[in-house]
Amino acid sequence: MQALVMSEPGNVKLTEIPTPVPGPDEVLIKVGASGICTNDIRDYLGDCDYSYPRIGGHEFAGTIEALGSAVDARRFQAGQRVVKYIIEDCKECYFCHTGHENICEEHPRSRIFHSEDGISGYAGFAEYVIAKADDIMVFEHEESFIKMAFTEPMACVINSIECTDVHFGQDCLVIGGGTMGLLHVMLLRLRGARVIVSEPMEARRAMALELGASEVLDPAEGDAVRKVRVLTGGRGADFVYNTVSHPAIAAQAVRMTAACGTCVMFSSIHPREDVPLDAGRIHSMQVTVTGAVSPTIRAYFESVQMLDKGLVDPTPLIEGVFDCTEFQAAMDTALRPDSYKVIVRFGA
């Protein structure tokens, strides 16, 4: 099969490698489409301590090509359109036992990040990928692999929003109008929130308004914290979702959060450094500061439901679709600071 093998950061080539063979409890998936994630970009730029060679791509969707001998044929058949839950959850550790499989202790130790003797990675940038049958979720209706490839990023956003108990009419501030920020906008609207977006690029602010934001602001002009307070009767936003990696913005996000509100650190922070927080205000205003990383199985399944039932349409967030032979052009597009989701297509 053909796979986009990264021999070292910045060097990806479409390479012929053996097609993987599913074990008894595994399925072979023929990949239709695979999204490029910020994590793939950091990997490409050499910003991760993973082992190489490596095949990236965790936002993939495709069809079942073959089933292992022990896979339940009542549940899975060749030709079904599927996605895979991408956390290598061990189902045995403390976090797996307490409903937090998204932070399973074993996941960081898996072959996804380091492989002593072979290729590391999620391996979705390839014609075929192997998955455990119990990690597979089936789409009944949605036909487009490109839309299905949004399952993972949208699941991350669902996990983020489910850290917050949003009630109708409350104020939700989304910091950053990129793909993840705008997915927050679309889903928060469905939750009945009034959504405010803070984003320096004008075109992105316009897109946020199109996708359901009620208010937008440019944080590069004037005092962004004050602007949020003005829009929210002086209180700040009930819920703040920070999708931006800069440490200074994280500190600002907490200041934008209302009393009794919650601030979710959705983005990872780069560079990773401490940020000053007013702990006295967190105390006296009962502000909650939390984080959200990767989806739980439940959030992943909810994302499948949202896409499969047509309850949300990620089409406006597609920057471009590239054939796997055009990976360099795809990555160059994804590297542009203004681009939304870039999708790589496999097969015809």
Q: Provide the binding-site residues for Zn ion, judged by CB under 5 A.
A: 37, 59, 90, 93, 96, 104, 152
* Residue 109, phi then psi, degrees to nearest 5: -95, 0
Q: What are phi and psi of 151, to 5 degrees?
A: -55, -50
In angstroms, what is the minimal distance from the CB of 74 to Zn ion?
28
Q: Supply the minimum distance, in Å, between the C-beta of residue 294 and Zn ion.
A: 9
Report the nearest approach of Zn ion to the CB of residue 304 (Å): 15
In the complex, least distance from residue 81 CB atom to Zn ion, rounded to whole angstroms:
19
C-beta contacts of 17-24 below 8 A and 24+ residues apart: 17/119, 17/126, 19/127, 19/128, 20/128, 20/129, 20/130, 22/66, 22/67, 22/68, 22/71, 22/130, 23/68, 23/130, 24/68, 24/69, 24/70, 24/71
Select 38 or 214, whichever has its Cβ closest to Zn ion: 38
Looking at beta carbons only, is 126 or 217 nearer to Zn ion? Answer: 126
Bridge partners, 318 (sequence order): 341
Shortest separation between residue 195's beta carbon and Zn ion, angstroms: 22
Q: Which helix (H) or strand (E) holds 184?
A: helix 179-190
DSSP string, 185-231: HHHHHHTT-EEEEE-S-HHHHHHHHHTT-SEEE-TTSS-HHHHHHHH
Written as six digits, the tokens of 228 are: 């949020």
Largest pairwise CA distance in the chain: 63
Instruction: State the nearest-atom distance from the C-beta of 83 to Zn ion, in Å.
Output: 12
Please, which residue, 13 or 91, has the CB nearer to Zn ion?
Answer: 91
Q: Residue 176 and residue 289: Cα distance in Å, rounded? A: 18
Closer residue to Zn ion (CB): 209 or 312: 312
- The SS3 assignment for 320 reads strand
What sign does the dihedral 178-179-182-183 (CA atoms) show? Answer: negative
Least spacing, CB of residue 123 vs Zn ion, in Å:
14
> Alpha-carbon distance 204 to 12, whole Å?
30
Question: Smaller CB distance to Zn ion: residue 66 or 93?
Answer: 93
CB 188 within 8 A of CB 161: yes
In sequence order, the 6+-apart residues with CB closer than 8 A to the CB of 148 are 32, 33, 61, 81, 83, 139, 142, 307
Q: With left for phi above 0 and alpha for psi between -120 and 50, is residue 2 left, alpha or beta?
A: beta
Minimal distance, residue 39 CB to Zn ion, in Å: 6
- Closest contact distance (angstroms) between CB of 318 and Zn ion is 15
- The smaller minimum CB distance to Zn ion, of residues 109 and 226, is found at 109
Q: Which is nearer to Zn ion, 86 or 174 (CB)?
A: 86
Please, which residue, 90 or 225, has the CB nearer to Zn ion?
90
Backbone angles phi, psi at 289, to 5 degrees: -115, 125
State residue 207 phi and psi, 5-degree precision. -65, -40
Q: Specify the residue, 104 or 264, whose C-beta has the smaller distance to Zn ion.
A: 104
